Structure 1
Amino acid sequence: MYENNQAQAVIYCRVSSKSQEEEGHGLQSQETRCREFVAAKGYQVAAVFPDTITGGGDFMKRPGMVALLSFLDAQPDQNFVVIFDDLKRFARDTRFHLDLREAFRARSAKIECLNFKFDETPEGEFIETIMAAQGALERKQNGRQVSQKMKARMQNGYWVHTAPAGYRYKTVKGHGKLLIADEPLASIVREGIEGYASGRYQTQAELKRFFEAHPDFPRNKKGEIVQQRVTDILTHPLYAGYICSKVYDLDWRKGQHEALISVETYDKVQQRRNGSAKAPARRNIGEDFALRGFATCGDCGVPLRSSWAKGKYKRYPYYLCQTKSCESYGKSIPRDKLEDAFGEVVKSLQPSPSLFALAKAMFRNAWDARLNQMQGAAQSAKCQIADAEKQIEALLGRIMNATNDTVIGTYEEKIGELEKTKVRLQDKLTYPVPYPGRFDEMLELSLKFLANPWKL
C-alpha cells in the first residue's frame, strides 16, 4: 500500500460525446466526485485527464487516456493512483479492460474507483472480469438499440444523419426532429442542381464556382468547397424527397421532408454525370466580347477568336480567325464594327402582325396538345404503378418460396428497380396542371421579346 503522504493521484473523467460535455456537465460532476474521494483518501491531485469520446472500446483511441499513459511514462519513479468515477469509465469492452489493467500494472500505477473496489485476489479478478463483460454487453446492446431505432425512423421517412447543405433540423410537433429548407442556402442548392441538370453549368467545376460565389455556402476548415461536396449534392436522393441508405438497406423511401428538386431533375443530373466528359469553361472569357463563341469566320465557319491589341496609347479589341488553313487566317475585325453590324441585324428582326397571329395560334395548339398529353400521361402512370405493385407482390411471393441465395438476390434487385420506377411515376403525378390564364400570362413575355429583341 502507498502511504497517504506519498501517493499522487491522477483523475480520469470521460463522457461519450461533446453534447454530454456541453449540456450535461458530466466531466465537471465526475471531477468533483473524484476530488472529494481523493481528499478523503489524503492523496494529492497531480493532474486531471478528460475525454469526450468513447473510442469504440479501445482506450488507445481516447486522447485523454493516451495523454494519461504518456504522463505516467514520463515519471517512471513516481507512484501514482489513477482515480475513476465508475468502472464503466474505465473500459466498456472486456478485452480492452484487461489490456488497460495490464498497461497500468506495467507502469506500477494503482487503480481506484469510487463505485468498485479493485482486488488482486483470484476471486476479485473474476468479479472484475464479469463486471467488465457486463459493461461490454450493455455497450453492444445500446449500440444495437440505437441502430434499430435509427433504421426504424428512416423507414418512416425521417433522415437521422447530419443535415446536408440546404437543410437544417427543426423540432416539429408530431414529427420530432424534421429536415426543413434552410434559406437562403436551400435556394442556392436548388438553383445549382437545376442549373446542372439543364446544362447551364456544363461541368461540376463550373457548379463548384457557382457555390463559391456565395459567401454563405458552407466550407471546410480551410475555407474551401471541395469537389466531393459538389458530387454529394448532385447524387443525394434526399434533395428529391427520398431516403436511401446502404447501411440500413433502404432504397427510395418517401421522406417526410420537403424536396428541393423533382425526381425528374435528379434523373437528368445522373444522366449528365454518366455522359461524356466536357472541358471546363474558361474563366477568363469575361464580358469584353459579347459574340465570342457565336460569330464565325465567313470562309471556314470556325468560331472567331478574340484578343486585345496593344497600341501606342491604348489597347484595341479585335475578333480574328486563327485557322491556319483558312484564307482569312490572321485577318482581324474591330470588335465594335462587328458587334455594331450584328446590332443592326437584331434591330431588323421585327415580325409582322400576321406572323404574330400565326405564332400565337401555333403556341395555343401546342399548349392544348401538351395539356392533353399530361392528362394521358397521368392516366398511364397510374396504370404502370398498379402493374409495378402487382409485379412486386408476385416477386415477394417467389422470394418466400425460394431457397437459392442467388435467385433471392436477383428477385431483390428486381424489386428495387420496380420501387424506383414507382417513385418516378408517382413524382410525375404530382406535376401541377396550369391554371386558367397561365397560357396568356406566359405567352405575353415571349411575344414581347419577339416583337423587338433589340430592346432586351
Structure 2
Amino acid sequence: MNQRLVRIAKPAGLVKAVLYARVSSKEQEKEGFSIPAQCKLLRDYALQQRFDIVQEFVDVETAKTTGRTSFTEMVKYLRKHPGIRSVLVEKTDRLYRNLKDWVTLDELDVEIHLAKEGVTLSRDSRSSEKFMHGIKVLMAKNYIDNLSEEARKGQMEKAEQGIWPTKAPLGYVNITGKDGRKVIEPHPELAPVVTQLFERYATGQYSLKALAKAAHGDGLIYPKSGNPVPVSTVHMILRNRLYTGLFQWNGKLHHGKHAPLVSIELWERVQGILTGRNAVPTHPMGNEFAFTGLMTCKECGCAIVAEIKKGKYVYYHCTGHTDKGRGGYADCRRKYVREEVLDQAFANLLDRLHFNEEIL
C-alpha cells in the first residue's frame, strides 16, 4: 500500500473542502494512470467552484476491505473538523469500495462533490439523486467483487499449470519468468537454510524452539524486515508441502513446476515426527509412550504414534502418510487404539512364548 498526505495552502474566503483520490492497484500508479488525472481534475473543479482544498488524501492499494490508510485519515480529519463538510472526489467508485464506506460518510453528514459525474450529494439532495447514487455504489461494489472473482480464477488457472499463484513462502522468491509469467524459484540465501531446517528436524533431536534458534543462527529471517522467524512460522514451514514440489490449492493437489527444496521422503519423515510431538507429553515423569517406535501400520506401513486424550487416556494411531505426501492422509490415520488394548495384546503375545531349560 502507498498513500500520500499533502497539506495545501488555504486561500481566504473560500469554502473549505478535502480532496480524495484513489487507485485500485500499484500497476495503475506505476503507469501514471488515474492519480495525476484525478488530482488535476479536482483542483480545477475546486478553482471553478471556489473551494479551498485544505487537505489532500490519496490511496494506492488493492485490498478489498475497508481500512485504506488515507480514507481512514480523511474520516478522522472530518470528525475532528466539523466546520469542513465538503469532499471532492472524481466519481463514485473512487470514493467507495464497499457499503461500509458509504455508511461511514453518510453518518458524517458531508457534502460529496462527484466532479466527473457533475453530481453533488448532501442531506438536501432529492430522493431520486440519492437513489441513483445508491445504485452507483452498488455497481462499484459489484465491480470490486468481479475483480476479486477474476483474480481467483486466474490463481486457479496458474495452479492447474503447476505455478504457485501467490506470494512465495520463505525459501522461495517471486520472479518473472522468460515467458513473462510470475513464478517462484529458490531464494539464493534462504533456500539452503530451509532445506537444513527439514534435515535437522528429521533427526528427531530438535524441539521446534531449539530448531528455530539454530535456524536464526543460519540466517533464517524475513527478507524485508530482517526480523528472525518465530517458532510458529518454523512449524508452518515444516508442514508446508510446497517445499517438496507439490502443493494444494482449493483442496486439490498439484505438481508444481518450481524446484523442490526437500524430498518427499524427508518431508514425510518430518510429518511423522511433528504428529508425534503435537501430542500432549506422556507421563509426569517424562517417560516415553510404551509402544512408540515399536509398531508400524498394517495397512500402509507408516509409523504408529501416540497422544493423550482428555488428559489421561493414551491412544495410538497411524501417521497416515501412505503415499509419501502426494495425496493427503490415508483413511487408516483416523483409526485409534487405546493403550490398554495394546497392553492386553502384548501380554497375550508374551503368554505364547515358551523358553526351554537351556535358555533359562
Normalized against structure 2, the TM-score is what? Answer: 0.67
Q: Rg larger in 1 or in 2?
A: 1
Of 46, 71, 80, the residue aligned with 2:77 is 71
C-alpha distance in 2, partners of 1:219/1:231? 18
The answer to whether the Cα contact below 8 Å between 1:97 and 1:132 also exists between their aligned partners in 2 is no
The answer to whether the Cα contact below 8 Å between 2:19 and 2:56 also exists between their aligned partners in 1 is yes
Structure 2 residue 43 is matched with structure 1 residue 38 = no
The answer to whether the Cα contact below 8 Å between 2:64 and 2:144 also exists between their aligned partners in 1 is no
Of 22, 42, 47, the residue aligned with 2:55 is 47
Structure 2 residue 84 is matched with structure 1 residue 82 = no
The residue that corresponds to 1:9 in the other structure is 17
The answer to whether the Cα contact below 8 Å between 1:104 and 1:110 also exists between their aligned partners in 2 is no
Query: Structure 1 residues 223, 56: CA separation in 2 closer, same or farther (over 3 Å shift)?
Result: same
C-alpha distance in 1, partners of 2:13/2:269? 75
The answer to whether the Cα contact below 8 Å between 1:34 and 1:84 also exists between their aligned partners in 2 is yes
Of 226, 232, 242, the residue aligned with 1:228 is 232
The answer to whether the Cα contact below 8 Å between 2:79 and 2:108 also exists between their aligned partners in 1 is no
What displacement does 1:69 show? Answer: 2.3
The residue that corresponds to 1:208 in the other structure is 212
**What's the Cα RMSD here?**
3.1
C-alpha distance in 1, partners of 2:156/2:248? 11
C-alpha distance in 2, partners of 1:55/1:234? 29
User: What code does the residue aligned with 2:153 have?
Assistant: Q
The residue that corresponds to 1:261 in the other structure is 262
The alignment partner of 1:261 has SS state of coil
C-alpha distance in 1, partners of 2:101/2:208? 49
Normalized against structure 1, the TM-score is what? Answer: 0.54
String of CA shifts for 1:116-155, please: whole Å, max 9, x gaps: 2135122222221222221121111111111111122112
The answer to whether the Cα contact below 8 Å between 2:245 and 2:260 also exists between their aligned partners in 1 is yes
The residue that corresponds to 1:406 in the other structure is none
5 Å matches for 1:4-403?
Answer: 5-17=13-25, 20-21=28-29, 24=32, 26-53=34-61, 56=64, 58=66, 61-76=67-82, 78-93=83-98, 95-96=99-100, 98-105=102-109, 109-116=110-117, 117-118=119-120, 120-174=125-179, 176-199=181-204, 201-215=205-219, 217-218=221-222, 221=225, 223-245=227-249, 248-250=250-252, 252-276=253-277
What displacement does 1:62 show? Answer: 2.7
The alignment partner of 1:92 has SS state of coil
Kindly indicate which of the two structures has a greater share of residues assigned to helix.
1
C-alpha distance in 1, partners of 2:277/2:152? 40
User: What code does the residue aligned with 2:78 have?
Assistant: L
C-alpha distance in 2, partners of 1:277/1:103? 50
The answer to whether the Cα contact below 8 Å between 2:238 and 2:270 also exists between their aligned partners in 1 is yes
User: What code does the residue aligned with 2:197 have?
Assistant: G
What displacement does 1:189 show? Answer: 1.2
The residue that corresponds to 2:332 in the other structure is none
Q: Which runs of 5+ in 1 are unaligned?
A: 279-383, 385-415, 425-456
What displacement does 1:29 show? Answer: 3.9
What displacement does 1:231 show? Answer: 0.6
The answer to whether the Cα contact below 8 Å between 1:57 and 1:96 also exists between their aligned partners in 2 is no
What displacement does 1:180 show? Answer: 1.0
User: What code does the residue aligned with 2:234 have?
Assistant: V
Q: How many residues align?
A: 274
Query: Structure 1 residues 277, 115: CA separation in 2 closer, same or farther (over 3 Å shift)?
Result: closer
The alignment partner of 2:88 has SS state of strand
Query: Structure 1 residues 98, 175: CA separation in 2 closer, same or farther (over 3 Å shift)?
Result: closer
User: What code does the residue aligned with 1:114 have?
Assistant: A
User: What code does the residue aligned with 2:272 have?
Assistant: Q
The answer to whether the Cα contact below 8 Å between 1:219 and 1:225 also exists between their aligned partners in 2 is no
What displacement does 1:253 show? Answer: 1.2
String of CA shifts for 1:325-344, please: whole Å, max 9, x gaps: xxxxxxxxxxxxxxxxxxxx
User: How many percent of aligned residue pairs carry the same amino acid?
Assistant: 22
Query: Structure 1 residues 24, 204: CA separation in 2 closer, same or farther (over 3 Å shift)?
Result: farther
